[in-house]
Amino acid sequence: MGSAIGRRHAIMLGAGAVGMTLALRTGSSDRSGQGDAKLRWAVDYGAATDPVLARHYEMLVLEPHHPRPIAPLRGEGATLLGYVSLGEVEKRRPYFAGLDAAGALGAANPDWPDARRADLRHPAWTAAVLDRIVPQILNLGYDGIFIDTMDNAEAMERQDPLGAKDMVAAGARLIAAIRARFPAIRIMLNRGYALLDRVAPSIDYVLGESMASRWNFATKRYDLLSDSDWKWQADRLRAAKAINPAMVVTTLDYWDMADTRQVAALYARERAAGFAPYVSTLALDRLWPEPSG
């Protein structure tokens, strides 16, 4: 989707291997007996995450490149995931120049011109992800990664069927390679529906972004989406859950947080569907507690 979630900075394994990685990762991520809806999670790409609020969550998705310690943000037994964009690279990232020189980057994202789309088939991109990008996040103390912009693979294939041939398959191979290299980490994927069924055995969490509401860039306001839009995502999330029942299904909706009644309604809708919800503003630059009462 060229995802909105990653722009907050100015947000098939073989059968034997699948069994091995799922066995390694059972435990806190296996909520199939409790229901995913009980998970309290949030995303905050701001540099000043409130540690008091942060410690109330069981899982947090954070921007790992802020120069700060993350230990004060970790609640007891909590999982912290560092953001990584696998479908494109922003020019400000330290590895941008090397990847550009290697020919691993394609055209700019028309919606985000400071980002270039990554050629998921290129060995230099695979090496950068496995040898540099993911290890750097883990070395900061994160328990795993949050993968964004994988919808780019489908978009590139659709726009250039010959030049971007097998991009979706390459994206699935890259996620499988991350799992094989780092078998015990937590992995969360934002959407990526074209490859979700293939990577479901390799991930611990999947996110349905803008499930029931979104920011409308044309009208400059928050909109509620149609029931059919919601069902389109829900059907794909549930199909992936059927493949990997231990995988936790999460959702992210956007709204004006002053409208506490609608925010509460968004939480209630997603939780009633069995999903673990979080609601925030488009900025995703601070934590917003769920309305009480």
Interatomic CA distance for residues 230 and 208, integer angstroms: 9
Please report whether residue 288 resides in a domain: no
CA distance between the termini of the chain: 35
Q: How far apart are CA 81 and CA 75, in angstroms?
A: 13
C-alpha 91/C-alpha 277 separation (Å) is 32
Assess if residue 5 is contained within a domain: no
Residue 147 lies in a domain: yes
In a domain, 80, yes or no: yes
Q: pLDDT 10s per residue in the chain (293 long)? A: 334 554 443 332 233 333 333 333 433 444 444 589 999 999 999 999 999 999 999 999 999 999 999 999 999 999 999 999 999 999 988 999 999 999 999 988 887 889 999 999 999 999 999 999 999 999 999 999 999 999 999 999 999 999 989 999 999 999 999 999 999 999 999 999 999 999 999 999 999 999 999 999 899 999 999 999 999 999 999 999 999 999 999 999 999 999 999 999 999 999 999 999 999 999 999 999 999 86
CA distance 192 to 152: 8
Say how far apart CA 93 and CA 9 lie, in whole Å: 11
And the tokens for 7? Answer: 């722009």
User: Six-digit token pair at 197?
Assistant: 């069924």
Task: Output the domain CATH number for residue 145.
Answer: 3.20.20.70
Helices (H) and strands (E) in the chain, counts: 10, 13
Q: For position 110, what pLDDT does the model report?
A: 81
Q: Give the whole-angstrom CA distance, residue 201 versus residue 246.
A: 9
Residue 50 has a pLDDT of: 97
Determine the Cα–Cα distance for residues 12 and 109; give it in Å rounded to an integer: 27
Question: Could you tell me how far CA 54 lies from the centroid of its own chain?
Answer: 18
Domain annotation covers residue 165? yes
Write down how long the chain is: 293
Which pLDDT score, from 0 to 100, does residue 11 have? Answer: 38
Decide: 180 and 13 in contact? Cβ < 8 Å.
yes
User: Model pTM greater than 0.95?
Assistant: no
Q: How many CB atoms lie within 10 A of CB 127?
A: 14
Task: Count the domains in the chain.
Answer: 1
pLDDT at 138: 98
The residue segments making up the domain with residue 229 are 15-280
Given a contact cutoff of 8 angstroms between Cβ atoms, the answer to whether 47 and 64 are in contact is no
Residue 250 lies in a domain: yes
Identify which of 233, 236, 238 has the alpha carbon closest to the alpha carbon of residue 252.
233
Alpha carbon distance 159, 207 (integer Å)? 25
Evaluate whether residue 99 is within a structural domain: yes
Q: Is residue 285 assigned to a domain?
A: no
The whole-number pLDDT of residue 293 equals 64
Single-letter code of the amino acid located at 244:
N
